[in-house]
Chain A
């Protein structure tokens, strides 16, 4: 089955630790995205990648880092610099980048800072 997988589903982090959230897609999509969703809130764009080995900051990139070494994978690292990391993190992909494309979302990772 084609789709997007994210792991883990739940992640607990101690303050001061970096954690990496996984996102993998087998849809052969060029573009991938990371969003943050807080309770009762909309989706805010953290980073996006239009093609392998390229990525750009979204609206709330501070305290996060990404890499795009493979087309299928777009991991997100939440660094200790992120002041309030507790949130629901959603990864998405689209065939190409741009406003006309449908975005397909993974199941998400809930991050909780202890």
Chain B
């Protein structure tokens, strides 16, 4: 099925530093979703991107879909301890009807 690679796998940051996770595919994606899973919790939907070059913001979070629709990024400005968790992308290509989840990026924030 569709493969999406997420990097980095882990990231430690000092509170107040920025953080970015990337989701990459070798094929063109139809859409991409981002989810957050707090430690010990379950994934919660954050946003969906559909258009080439699309940028969406949610407070300190900025989501971007690449021009070629083969990659996406989630950027957090000035991280806070509440940002701790694992961020997953989930994507599908035009041939598939199911989402495939990336491996996730685990964010740890030092106060």
Using a CB–CB distance below 8 Å, which chain A residues touch chain B? 35, 40-45, 48, 58-59, 90, 92, 97-100, 102-108
B30 at the interface (CB under 8 A from A): yes
* Cβ-defined partner of B96 (8 Å) among A48, A99, A102: A99
State whether B48 touches A98 (Cβ < 8 A): no
Q: Please, how many residues of chain B have a CB less than 8 angstroms from a CB on the other chain?
A: 27
State whether A99 touches B42 (Cβ < 8 A): no
> What residue of chain B has the Cβ atom nearest to residue A108's Cβ?
B42
- How far in angstroms is the closest Cβ of chain A from B95? 10
A107–B43 alpha-carbon span in the complex (Å)? 9
- How far in angstroms is the closest Cβ of chain B from A9? 11
Interface of B is mostly: strand
Are A41 and B103 also in contact (CB < 8 A) when A99-B92, A102-B48 are? yes
Q: Which residues of B contact A98 (CB under 8 A)?
A: 97-98
User: Interface digits, B71-83 against A, CB 8 Å rule (1 contact, 0 not)?
Assistant: 0000000000000
B31 at the interface (CB under 8 A from A): yes
* Cβ-defined partner of A97 (8 Å) among B42, B90, B97: B97
A-B contact pairs, 29 of them (CB 8 A): A35-B101, A40-B9, A41-B103, A41-B104, A42-B103, A43-B101, A45-B100, A59-B1, A90-B42, A90-B43, A92-B43, A97-B98, A98-B97, A98-B98, A99-B91, A99-B92, A99-B96, A99-B97, A99-B98, A100-B31, A100-B48, A102-B33, A102-B48, A103-B35, A103-B45, A103-B90, A103-B99, A106-B42, A107-B41
Using a CB–CB distance below 8 Å, which chain B residues touch chain A? 1, 6, 9, 30-31, 33, 35, 41-45, 48, 88, 90-92, 96-104, 106
> What residue of chain A has the Cβ atom nearest to residue B46's Cβ?
A102
Number of CB contacts from chain A to chain B under 8 A? 54
State whether B106 touches A102 (Cβ < 8 A): no
